[in-house]
Amino acid sequence: MPSAKDGARVAADVVADVVAHRSCPVLGLATGSSPLGLYAELARRCRSGALHLGSTRAFALDEYVGLRPDHPQSYASVIRDAVVVPLGLDPDLVHVPDGSADDVVGACRAYEQSIQGAGGVDVQILGIGVNGHIGFNEPTSSFASRTRIKTLSPQTRADNARFFDKPGDVPEHCITQGLGTIAEARRLVLLAQGAHKARAVTAMVEGPVSAMCPASALQMHPYATVIVDELAASGLTLSSYYNYVYEHKPPWQRPSSTSQHHSEVSP
């Protein structure tokens, strides 16, 4: 896709389509920069009345351990500011792992139970780390993993230092949904932009399924869509084939507001 805006529109079409077919839809939310355009596009559609998310429930992918929910860089704060408020979601229906819990293990277990209690995630929005992580499942995470505490890699802490006053302020640990948890979402939509994501995108889409690239788990998912800009797609060997497949989709598989340039890893 030529721009992040085009990608955001295509991803918003996917979310809108899922929401239209569920009475109480359940969204899975990533934080970070990659989905911000999507959230802005969804907010625009909500404001214009084209999209209604009234009864939507949502579960964030992850949270830093040791930050209270009111810390400005906690994912609870980020989700509130980037998603809950602009999309007009009911805050009581939006869940973020409790990174300040005394019993982190119990909080992880409770989080898994509340996802299951909601009937599972209908559409999980994902970004990808430069080391191939999804959620905060760093390389060598088990494909069977569930919500748990993880140690962030030095690379991830350095990448996320831009959100904090100083690099040392980035927490060392997080709670993240596991790869097994993420894989149970009925649909996955992953967004990536920029040349710094090209290696990870190539490993995810065209590399071997390997715990060294946790995002390669998407290859095993029956309904995963990868939406990338030209820079993030620049390492893909078969990009002309992906464009050909997209251009030749049967009409009933095409998204409603069509952008002509996204690549899809389809079932």
Handedness of CA 210, 226, 74, 121 (dihedral sign): negative
* Residue 30 lies near ligand F6R (rule: CB under 6 A): yes
Binders of ligand F6R in range 33-72 (CB under 6 A)? 33-34, 61-62
Distance, CA of 214 to CA of 225 (rounded, Å): 16
* Residue 80 lies near ligand F6R (rule: CB under 6 A): no
Q: Which of 135, 171, 178, 214 binds ligand F6R (CB under 6 A)?
A: 135
Name the minimum Å distance from CB 216 to ligand F6R.
Answer: 14
CA–CA distances in Å: residue 185 to residues 14, 23, 26, 27 = 14, 17, 9, 9
Nearest residue (CB) to ligand F6R, 93 versus 190:
190
Name the minimum Å distance from CB 43 to ligand F6R.
Answer: 18
Distance, CA of 136 to CA of 151 (rounded, Å): 9
End-to-end CA distance of the chain: give it in Å, rounded: 20
Q: How many residues bind ligand F6R (CB under 6 A)?
A: 13
Binding span for ligand F6R by CB under 6 A among 40-48, 121-129, 164-172, 250-258: 121-129
CA–CA distances in Å: residue 144 to residues 30, 140, 148, 232 = 20, 11, 12, 27
Q: 223 with 18: CB under 8 angstroms? A: no
Distance, CA of 240 to CA of 184 (rounded, Å): 30
* Residue 134 lies near ligand F6R (rule: CB under 6 A): yes
Active site includes 184? no
* Residue 77 lies near ligand F6R (rule: CB under 6 A): no
Q: Which of 10, 28, 31, 93 binds ligand F6R (CB under 6 A)?
A: 31
Scan for tokens 């078969």, then name that residue: 238
Catalytic residues: 62, 131, 133, 138
Q: Which residues bind ligand F6R (CB under 6 A)?
A: 30-34, 61-62, 127-129, 133-135
